[in-house]
Structure formats: structure tokens, C-alpha cells
Amino acid sequence: MANRTLKYYNDNAIELSKKYNSITFDNIQEIIFNYLDGAKKVLEVGCGSGRDANYMLNNGFDVIGIDGSIEMLNNARVNYPNLKGRLVKAILPNEFPAFEYKFDGAYSIATLMHFDKVDIDKILKKIHSVLKQDSPVYISISERRNNVDERYFIDFTKSDWVEAFQQNDFAINKIIETQGATNKEIVWYSFLLKTK
């Protein structure tokens, strides 16, 4: 992740946490819940404000969240005290944690699009390595867009994402296209994957 992106999240953590936590995200959370149904121990890559980890925990999943922004994690711990001990600081791709167990599933919302191609491949390989075979994985990313603030966004098409997932041993079960919750002009892709 570009240093400017991490700095943006650290510098704006309080405002961003309030914004993300106020968004009605029921339809996406329901898709994740249904797709990961049956998985017990799940990993969230880029847990940010803690909104989705909190939802997953409250719905019976044993969730661990990782994120590179210490300030976002600090806000998540304040806003969702029940996530204590479940949030781990990890600046990806090089600080991906070593776990003593394999996860049954994973999800990542609006995170991978902040990395370049080399780092995306590294992260996907690391996610794959901590999952059991045939584990469900939900990943959402936005379509190509200009850098609207200090954050970095990769210039990937839907086909580029498909290729990246396939090259890193993920089978694609379904792709769902939706409009953004805060900006209706942005198209989001939800990839429902399985580990090979």
C-alpha cells in the first residue's frame, strides 16, 4: 500500500470511521454472511472501522481482522469493544501475520484496490496460504477510477481482477456488480471466490 494511502487513513481515522459506520451496508453484509455460511473461523483483510468484523462476530463467526492503519484500529476498538483481541495491525503485504491455524473463510472490502499489481499478488498468495482448501472468499473492489484524494487506486479493469484471482489459485463462483453506497457513479465488484 502506498505510504500516502496509509497516511490518509491514519490522518482521517475518526472522520472515516464515523462515515463508514453510518453507512447502511445490509445487502453486502447479507451476501458475505450467506456466502461464508458454514465457515467458523474467518479472516477480514482490511478491517478498517471494525463495522464488518463487528457484524460477523455478532452473527456467530469467529473473526480476526487485520489492517495497516493503527488509528483506524484504535477507533474500531473504541467503537466495538467486543472486538478486543480480534484486531491485528499488519501493514500489507510484508507484515501479513503468521497464524497457528487455518481459516475456514475470508473476506476483504475496499482494500485490495489500494495496492499495485505486485503487492496484490503477494497478498492473494498470503490469504490463500492461511485458508483451507475450498474455503469461501468474498472480495469487493471498485472499478477503475481516478485518484480523488491522497489514496492510491490501481488502474484495474474487471478482467484484470479476474486474471489476478485465477493466477493466484482462486476459482471465481460469481461476480456481483453494484453501485457505491456513498457515490452512485462508482461501480463495485463483489467476487465470490473459492480456494483451489
Check pLDDT > 80 for residue 174: yes
Check pLDDT > 70 for residue 2: no
Confidence of residue 1 (pLDDT cuts 50, 70, 90): low
| pLDDT tens track for 62-72 | 999 999 999 99
Share of the chain above pLDDT 90, in %: 82
DSSP string over 74-133: HHHHHH-GGGTTSEEE--TTTTPPP-SS-BSEEEEES-GGGS-HHHHHHHHHHHHHTB-T
Contact 180, 141 (CB under 8 A): no
Q: How far apart are CA 12 and CA 48, in angstroms?
A: 12
Q: How far apart are CA 151 and CA 165, in angstroms?
A: 23
Q: Which domains does the chain have, with CATH numbers?
A: 3-195 (3.40.50.150)
Looking at residue 186, what is its pLDDT?
A: 81
Looking at residue 3, what is its pLDDT?
A: 84
Check pLDDT > 70 for residue 182: no
| pLDDT tens track for 82-119 | 999 999 999 999 999 999 999 999 999 999 999 999 99
Average pLDDT, whole number, for the chain? Answer: 93
